[in-house]
Structure 1
Amino acid sequence: MAKYSNRRGFIRKVGLSTAAATVVGSSFASDKKTVNYLKRVKVNNIADDLNIALIGAGGMGTEDTNTALRHEGIKLVAVCDLYEGRRQQAKKKWGQDIFTTDNYKEILKRKDVDAVIIGTPDHWHKQISIDALNAGKHAYCEKPMVHSVDEGLDLIAAWRKSGKVYQVGSQGMSSLGNEKAKALLAEGAIGDLNYAEGFWARHSPTGAWQYRIPDDASEKTVSWKKYISNTTKRPFDAMRFFRWRNYQDYGTGMSGDLFVHLFSSLHFITNSKGPNQVSAMGGLRYWKDGREVPDVLLGMFQYPKTEAHPDFNLSLRCNFVDGTSGSTYLKLVGSEGSMDVKWREVVLKRNKSFSSDDAFAKAKASESETGYTGRKKMLPPEEIVYKAETDYKGAHYDHFGNFFRAIRTGGTVAEDPVFGFRAAAPALLCNDSYRQNDFINWDPENMKIVK
């Protein structure tokens, strides 16, 4: 039987980390927890200047661009968006000399564009990505990489043929938290993985995709026919343009927006290629504003045994009705402990155990405290906290750093189209399972549905 953990190796390594650790009190009077501070090792970039263009200047595209421009040697030369107001805003924000257009193909024809950021609604990800790669551009595409499972292999083929760098924008992939969790799991910190769970909640109206609709929204300011040219033809509808995540023709629901982050992190930490069985249920509980996707979604997934990990189960939950928490986490549970993983922090909890030499002392303590021999005490787990240092620039910054480094050095990125599709597919299959009210079998190795 394959072994997936190394308990002794972990104990040796965590012992070496105490010089950089701080011991603080916990909620248990007699218990202590250790806090370790994570630091990004500085890597000297090759300072070749790179020109980038943005295709899709909405909220996430704008955030991506602002983050990219924090890096040395990056210049924005062009912006494409189907809404005139965003094109005007781009010039105010990033300079009047920036070229703007509502036709992304004009961007791809420009010889001064080295790489594009694709921040469009999901139904345009595949086509713009393939066109960009065919035009010789490197590409950073927001997650999920594709709008439906049947689009994934075509994009992978285009990427392999192009020889260009393509990175999917699940920025948590490059976080210190994920990197530390990956190392801890490999060192045997929680033993053999048997279960994982993730949760994502948003409680604000904007977090429920209630994006602002501009007062001037009309067919005069929005290139509506371009927007719907690859999907169902409809009269102009500002809701479907500015709140596109609520509609199946353009978005991928809660799972495509949020589950895909959790899949990306889990697959990175465990070296997994994905589940072989997907099921989901949920409902539209609160946001009855004409949207077509649920605001509560639960997913269950079966991960098969591989050389990288034992078989385990995953459960994911997403809630847009939550009025209080707005919390996000990924938990990995193993035979000897668990990890709560966030992008800036990992909390490791390990089961306490006694060696054989402690058996007599434990029995005597139990007898004196409880009045009879044999009753076990309830012990809190050992807890070690790993936190990013205060000057950490964040996962989003590092994700773009990895993208630009790969372009400049001819290197690779972890979240390439193969990885990106293996994270997107189970998220997209959640939607299919929910709508079909059925289990779906998936081949994570060959990336196809099993009939």
Structure 2
Amino acid sequence: MGMKDDKNKNTDKGDQKAIGPKVKMDRRDVLKGIATLPIFGAFAYSYYKRRSHEHLLKSNLRRGIGLSYDAPAPAYPSVARDNQIRLGIIGCGIRGTQLLRAAGFAHPAWMEEVKANAAVNRHDKRYEEYLAQEDLNVVITGVCDVFDVHAGTAMEAAVNSQKEGSSRSSVTQPKRYRHYQELIAADDVDAVIIATPDHWHGPMTIEAARHGKHVYVEKPLTWTVEETYEVRKVIKDSGVIFQLGHQGRQTESYIKAREAVEAGLLGNVSLIEVCTNRNDPNGAWVYPIHPDANPNTIDWKQFIGPAPWHDFSLERFFRWRCWWDYSTGLNGDLLTHEYDAVNQIMKVGIPHSAMSSGGIYFYKDGRTVPDTLQVAYEFPKKDLTMLYSATLSSGKYRPKLFMGHDACMEVSDRLVVTAEEQSTRYKNKIISGEIDPRYPIYNYTPGKKDVDAVTSATEQYFASRGLLYSYRDGKRVDTTYLHIAEWLDCIRSGQQPSCDIDQAFEEAMTAHMATISYHEKRMVFWDEDKELITL
């Protein structure tokens, strides 16, 4: 035992002398030591070398790309919100309710629901995020809807004072207007939010601008080509601040995508593919019919307005998007979101030509607008084609694809840029191994550290398109709130918002070209000099 103890003691001394703290070892010695270990050592050595190499490559690549991984600045400067703006809202259905909430007026029932959900699901941050919205210093003074129930719900939201931290010392009781003309003419209304069916967007916007009211109108801008010119003229002549409801203008990944294009990361972009796929009745505009809806609670004549007359129909009232009589179909509802994103990122303007086709292939429910559609837009001055496709009977997800000679960019609620193997710009880096075309050279995920708090298939869809929320200073924020806030701040500052009348005019004409092509079953063209759609 003694001999064994001595042996161990001597060995310990020897080991202590050999590897004691006074002995200096450099990185090469460590690697050599690891490399002598069986199996695990070889793996660790290989892993260490690969990680070091990857770090070096990424550092070099970041410098070469020239894009930061920081959040982009807001698209507009902030201003003091000292003066209160008096708002009227026309159309208080699904979207109108969301716009009211974005302005700071959530219905008490919604607040109780999301508060309860947050208590049992720590990932559901909707209540927390709503409370975190800045007070925009607005008051709702007028509410107008042809459905009594919707009007009553909006009135309840307008006087909701449950929001903690609100600076409103008192709540103003809004007036219920039966006719939109009366709300627009009211002296205590400075600006209006219009969230009606498509066939009312143009007439109401024109009426509001003529009365000097600032306008926020949901997309699309217009129902017909003719009224598009009149809307633009009256907005410019009146000088009111106008914002079209494309909240994607606030999406961080879109702003970052614009930077990538301007930095030349993609090279010459010749093809863009965008789509909108859905696969549930709600996504196909088969919205629920309210049990209290009937001819006594709905002003049917006023709902029809400039549309062709049709006898009272609950289906047509709640599911109006399914008929050309009131709707602009996939073109005005979903295509415009995709086009506006592309226009924001690449400033393509109105296309030279459009060719559209499709049909009613799944929803044989009496609708007249197609449930499947494809459109090819040509931009010869930009050497570019944009392809749009949509189906309401398949949920296969596809991001926006910008295909350039040097790289391909995928855009959704995040941004991914991958180099092309035959790229000219990245040729030497690919040869040297600094870039592997199989992996992204740039990957931007705005503020994403947790799972989504959305709760339905429809919300999941909008979130993936970058239309539900974005990030500011690392915090998730409702894009509709940001878009409404931008409009209100521009009213105070006199500046133009990101989706002003010029952007709206381009959106409207682009959508109308696709609709005309679909009906005419032929290619249509845009005469840039005369500003006319021609066959």
Work out whether the TM-score is over 0.5.
Answer: yes
**Alignment pair present for 1:393 and 2:462:** no
Matched, 1:231 2:307: yes
2:418/2:438 contact within 8 Å kept: no
Give matches, 1:298-447, under 5 Å.
Answer: 298-305=374-381, 310-322=382-394, 324-325=395-396, 327=397, 329-342=399-412, 344-351=413-420, 379-390=437-448, 391-444=475-528, 446-447=530-531
Deviation at 1:424, TM superposition (A): 2.0
Q: Contact conserved, 1:273 with 1:445, CA < 8 A, in 2? A: no
After superposition, the C-alpha distances for 1:117-163 in whole angstroms (9 at most, x for unaligned) are 10000101111000000111000000000002222111000001101
Query: Displacement of 1:13 after TM fit?
Result: 6.4
Aligned 1:5-404 pairs, distance under 5 A: 12=63, 14-15=65-66, 17=68, 36-38=69-71, 40=73, 43-47=77-81, 48-69=83-104, 70=133, 71-95=135-159, 97-305=173-381, 310-322=382-394, 324-325=395-396, 327=397, 329-342=399-412, 344-351=413-420, 379-390=437-448, 391-404=475-488
CA deviations 1:264-299 (Å, max 9, x no partner) are 111111122121110111111111111111111011
1:421 positional shift: 1.8
Q: Check the 8 A contact 2:269/2:384 in 1, yes or no.
A: yes
Tell me the distance in 1 between the aligned counterparts of 2:269 and 2:209.
38
Question: Kindly tell me: are residues 13 and 445 of structure 1, through their superposed partners in 2, closer, same or farther at Cα, counting changes over 3 Å?
Answer: farther
Give the number of the structure whose residues are more often helix, by fraction: 2
Distance apart, 1:388 and its partner CA = 1.5
* 1:278–1:300 CA contact under 8 A, matched in 2: yes
Structure 1 residues 356 and 287 mapped into 2: Cα distance closer, same or farther (>3 Å)? closer
Which SS does the other structure have where 1:206 is aligned? coil
Instruction: Name the structure 1 match of 2:110.
Output: none
Q: Once structures 1 and 2 are overlaid, which stretch shifts more, 285-294 or 87-96?
A: 87-96
8 Å contact from structure 2 (residues 249, 341) kept in 1: yes
Partner residue, 1:366: none
Q: For residue 450 of structure 1, what is the aligned residue in structure 2?
A: 534
**Match for residue 20 of structure 1?**
none
Partner Cα distance (2:67, 2:515) in 1: 46
- 2-structure distance, mates of 1:142, 1:409: 22
* 8 A Cα contact 1:422 1:444, kept in partner: no
Secondary structure of 1:207's aligned partner? coil
Compute the TM-score of the two structures, normalised by the length of structure 1: 0.84
Q: Which amino acid aligns with 1:320?
A: L
Contact 1:39–1:392 (CA under 8 A) maintained in structure 2: no
Matched AA of 2:71: L
Letter of the 1:73 counterpart: N
Deviation at 1:211, TM superposition (A): 0.9
| Alpha-carbon shift at residue 355 of structure 1 (Å) | 5.8
User: What SS is found at the alignment partner of 1:388?
Assistant: coil
Whether contact under 8 Å (2:216, 2:243) holds in the other structure is yes
Offset at 1:328? 5.7
2:50 match: none
Deviation at 1:443, TM superposition (A): 2.8
Q: Is the 8 A contact 1:217 1:238 kept in 2?
A: yes
Secondary structure of 1:251 counterpart:
coil
Tell whether the 8 Å contact from 2:409 to 2:416 is kept in structure 1 after alignment: yes
Q: With the length of structure 2 as denominator, give the TM-score of the two structures.
A: 0.71
CA distance in 2, matches of 1:415, 1:16: 25
Q: Look up the equivalent residue of 2:95 and give its one-letter code.
A: M
Q: Bigger shift: 180-189 or 225-234?
A: 225-234
Matched to 1:399, the amino acid is H
> What amino acid maps onto 2:103 in structure 1?
A
Q: Percent identity?
A: 28
CA distance in 2: counterparts of 1:79 and 1:237, whole angstroms: 24
| CA RMSD across the alignment | 2.4
Consecutive unaligned residues of structure 1, counting only runs of 5 or more, are 1-9, 18-35, 363-376
Within 2, Cα distance between the matches of 1:443 and 1:74? 42
SS at match of 1:214: coil
Matched residue SS, 1:88? helix
C-alpha distance in 2, partners of 1:214/1:127?
27
Deviation at residue 430 of structure 1 after TM alignment: 1.6
Once the 2 structures are TM-superposed, how far is the Cα of residue 435 of structure 1 from its aligned partner?
A: 1.8
Higher relative contact order (CA 8 A, sep 6+): 1
Q: Which runs of 5+ in 2 are unaligned?
A: 1-60, 105-132, 161-172, 449-474
Matched length: 402
Distance 1:401 1:328, change over 3 A: farther
**Per-residue deviation, residues 388-433 of structure 1 (Å, max 9, x unmatched):** 2251314322212221121110111231122112112222222221
Larger radius of gyration: 2
